[in-house]
Amino acid sequence: MIGEVSKVGTMEDEGDGATKYVVVEYPSLNGKKDIIDVFLTKGQVFKTGEKVKIDMKYVGWGGISINWNTVDHIEKVHEVKNNRGHL
C-alpha cells in the first residue's frame, strides 16, 4: 500500500522510553482517506508529506492504537523523475 505521512509523533511508554510513530494516509476504496499508525522501533525517520510503502500483511487492529497499525514494515517510496526531454 502506498500512502503519505500525515503526522509524525512520539508515544510515551511506561518508564523512561518513548516510541516514535507516523500516521500514514491513503485513499480507501470509497474515495475517502484511511489511516494506519506505524510504530517505528528501528530509528527510522520520516517527514510529513513523504510518500511511503507499507507491507499490509503485517497490519493489524487493536493493541496500543485505536486505528489499523503495524510496527515497522514501512519504507520510503522514491519517485522517479523523467529527465529525458524530447527526442
Domains of the chain in sequence order: 2-76 (2.40.50)
What pTM did the predictor assign? 0.83
Contact 24, 36 (CB under 8 A): yes
pLDDT of residue 7: 98
- Tell me the pLDDT of the chain (87 aa) as tens digits: 999 999 999 988 777 788 999 999 999 888 899 999 999 999 999 999 999 999 999 999 987 788 999 999 999 998 776 666 555
Strand positions, DSSP E, 1-87: 2-12, 18-27, 33-40, 51-54, 60-61, 68-71, 74-76
Report the pLDDT value the prediction gives residue 86, as an integer from 0 to 100. 52
- What is the pLDDT at residue 5? 98
